[in-house]
């Protein structure tokens, strides 16, 4: 089980990413616009850098929904590999059968 503070920190980051997503997209549109003036692009870059660091989606981490484990998380299920294995062994994951031959 991951520390509760780390799980909460990641949730806080996800909220921050949602909050600033529209503003970041708007600034990226100006920065990537070839026809925009160089001064406007420079100003947009400065505004982008002034946004909080945790508003960047790159800082998000995939975590297990059950335990909060940061590594070995299957994105299809949102669960860590060891918990996914336990669920499969109990037959709680539909469409997954233990191999036997």
Domain that holds residue 57: 1-61
Q: What is the pLDDT of residue 6?
A: 92
* pLDDT tier, 61 (very low <50, low <70, confident <90, very high otherwise): very high
Instruction: Kindly state whether residue 10 falls inside one of the protein's structural domains.
Output: yes
| 20 plus 33 within the same structural domain | yes
User: Closest by alpha carbon to 32, among 19, 21, 44?
Assistant: 44
| 69 plus 35 within the same structural domain | no
| 42 plus 78 within the same structural domain | no
Instruction: Kindly state whether residue 89 falls inside one of the protein's structural domains.
Output: yes
Q: What is the pLDDT of residue 96?
A: 83
Instruction: Kindly state whether residue 99 falls inside one of the protein's structural domains.
Output: no
Q: Is the pTM of this model over 0.75?
A: yes
| 13 plus 49 within the same structural domain | yes
| 20 plus 51 within the same structural domain | yes
Q: Domain total for the chain?
A: 2
| 12 plus 57 within the same structural domain | yes
Question: Each residue of 8-57: pLDDT tens digit?
Answer: 999 999 999 999 999 999 999 999 999 989 999 999 999 999 999 999 99
* pLDDT tier, 1 (very low <50, low <70, confident <90, very high otherwise): confident
**Which residues does 41 contact at the CB level (< 8 Å), separation at least 6?**
30, 31, 33
């Amino acid at each position: 089980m991951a520390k509760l503070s780390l799980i909460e920190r990641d949730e806080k980051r996800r909220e921050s990413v949602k909050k600033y997503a529209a503003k970041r997209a708007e600034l990226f549109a100006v920065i990537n616009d070839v026809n925009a003036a160089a001064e406007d692009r420079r100003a947009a870059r400065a505004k982008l850098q002034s946004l909080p660091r945790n508003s960047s989606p790159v800082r998000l981490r995939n975590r297990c929904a059950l335990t909060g484990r940061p590594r070995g998380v299957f994105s299809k299920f949102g669960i860590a590999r060891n918990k996914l294995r336990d669920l499969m062994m109990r037959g709680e994951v539909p469409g997954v059968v233990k191999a036997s031959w």
